[in-house]
Amino acid sequence: MKLWAEVFHVSASGAGTVKWQQVSEDLVPVNITCIQDSPECVFHITAYNSQVDKILDVRLVQPGTRIGQASECFVYWKDPMTNDTWGLNFTSPIDAKQFRECCAVVAV
């Protein structure tokens, strides 16, 4: 699946202040691929900027990753392996919903 979004990453300062830092300059194509579906689902999420530099290359594992939603278009999650928090600001609520449904825990 390919969706368009701005990519964000949480950065912490030495003073312990946490803030969202925009990684992409603009909207970029975000690719979501399921690379494993048993015993757990592993999604490979990548994004490249306009210079074709890889700016996002993470794995999202379910069950085990809680996907939050800060607004109708902004979705975020924390990688339990690296403790990195990533956010995607989609162009529409429909795209945010598609991402959440794609990467959600599917009960069998």
- What residue spans define the domains of the chain? 2-102
| pLDDT of the residue at 12 | 74
**Is the CATH number of domain 2-102 1.10.10.60?**
no
How many CB atoms are closer than 10 A to CB 65? 18
Q: Are strands 41-48 and 28-36 parallel, antiparallel or unpaired?
A: antiparallel
Give the Cα separation of 94 and 15 in Å (integer): 37
Mean pLDDT for back-to-back runs of 10 residues, the chain (108 residues): 96 79 95 93 95 94 94 95 94 97 74
| pLDDT of the residue at 108 | 47
Q: Which residues of 31-40 are buried (b: 16+ CB within 10 A; e: fewer)?
A: ebeeeeeeee
| pLDDT of the residue at 11 | 83
| pLDDT of the residue at 16 | 74
Give the Cα separation of 98 and 51 in Å (integer): 27
Q: What is the pTM of this model?
A: 0.90
| pLDDT of the residue at 2 | 95
